[in-house]
Structure 1
Amino acid sequence: MAEESTRAWKDQYMLRLPDGMRDRIKAVAEANNRSMNAEIVATLEEKYPAPKPESRLISRLHHLIDIFDDTVMSDKLSNERREHMLSLFKDSIVDVIDRMTEDELARVRAETSFPGELDQFEDWPPQRWRSGGTGDAMGGRS
C-alpha cells in the first residue's frame, strides 16, 4: 500500500463493476498484500503494458533515414557524389541492422520504410533482413 501512496496519480476513472467482482478483486488484493486500487492497476499494467521506448539502434536507423532525406537526395549533389553518399548510407544502415536484436529487428520491419533508391544495390536488402522471412519487402518509398 506504500507503493500506492508514492505513485503520482494523474487520471481517475469511475468504474462500475458487475455483481461479485468487487469481492473477487478484494480477495486477490488481500492475498497479494495490496489495496484494491493497486491490484486493479497491476492487472491493467499486465494486460496493457506501456510501449517500449525506442532503442538506441532504432533511433540511429531513423536518424540515418532523416539524413538520407535531407542530404543524399539534395539537388545540390552531383550524380557521382549522390551515388557515393547513397552507398555510404546503405552501408551504415546494414551495420545498424546487423547489430540489432531480434526484437528490434521485428519492430523495424513493422514500422520502418526504406528509400526505394537502395533497391539499386545487389546486396540490398541485407542478408539479416532477408533471413527474417520478409522476402524483399523493405518498404521502399520511391
Structure 2
Amino acid sequence: MNEEIVRSQFRLPESLHEKLKEAAEANRRSLNAEIVGRLQETLGGDKPPGVLPSASEMSIKAAAVRKEIFLIVRNRIIDQIDKDSSMGRDTAFVNFRDLELDLLPESDVEKMIDSTCSWLEEAGYKPDWSNIDMCFVEF
C-alpha cells in the first residue's frame, strides 16, 4: 500500500539549500529525494530493504559521529575532574577505552587530543595523554 504524497512548501537558508543541492548531485538523486531521504533517516522513516546507502551519506554520518565523540571526551574529562576534586584528589584519571578511539582515523584522533590538551592547558590543567585510551589531568 502506497502512502499518500503531500505537497508542501517551506523556507530555508540559501546556504543550506546549496548544501542540499550538492548532496543530491553527489547522491545522484533529485533535491526532493535528498530532502525526503534525510528526513526519513532523521525521523526514523523506513528505508526499503536492500537499499545500499551512498558512500556520501555514510561519510556524512561518520563525520557527525566523530564530532559527537569529541564532545563525549570533553564532557567525560569535565565530569571526572569534578568527581576527583570532590574526593580530595589533585589528579583525574579519565578512561576512554570504551570509545575505541584507536579505530578512528589517526589524524582525527591526533587533532582531538591536541585541541583537548590545549583546552585543558589554557584553563591551567596539566594533561598527560600518553595513551590513546586514557588521560591523566593534574590540577
Shorter chain as normaliser: what TM range? 0.3 to 0.5
**Rg bigger for which structure?**
1
TM-score relative to the length of structure 2 = 0.33
